[in-house]
Amino acid sequence: MTFIKNFLLFWYDFIVGDDWVIAVGVVLALIITSLLVRSQINAWWLMPLAVIVLLAISVLRETRKGH
């Protein structure tokens, strides 16, 4: 049972890491991209845009913690 618990904790830490907000943002971006592609919409631009927006959110949140 300890092995299973450690295995799941590893994957949680690997995927979510230190910031669950960014992890949720990535999952939402992937879901939206998938929905757009299924609707026959060219969605190559969404993931780079999501990376830029999520990076900006992460930097802003970290800089505000310092004050």
Residue 67 binned pLDDT confidence (cut-offs 50, 70, 90)? low
pTM, 2 dp: 0.76
CA distance 58 to 22: 7
Crossing angle for the helix pair 46-65 and 20-38, nearest 10 degrees?
160
Quick check: 57 and 19 in contact, CB under 8 A? no
CA distance 67 to 54: 21
Give CA separation, 30 vs 7, 21, 47, 55, in Å: 24, 14, 7, 16
Q: What are 5-56's pLDDT values in tens digits?
A: 999 999 888 888 878 889 899 999 999 999 999 999 999 999 999 999 999 9
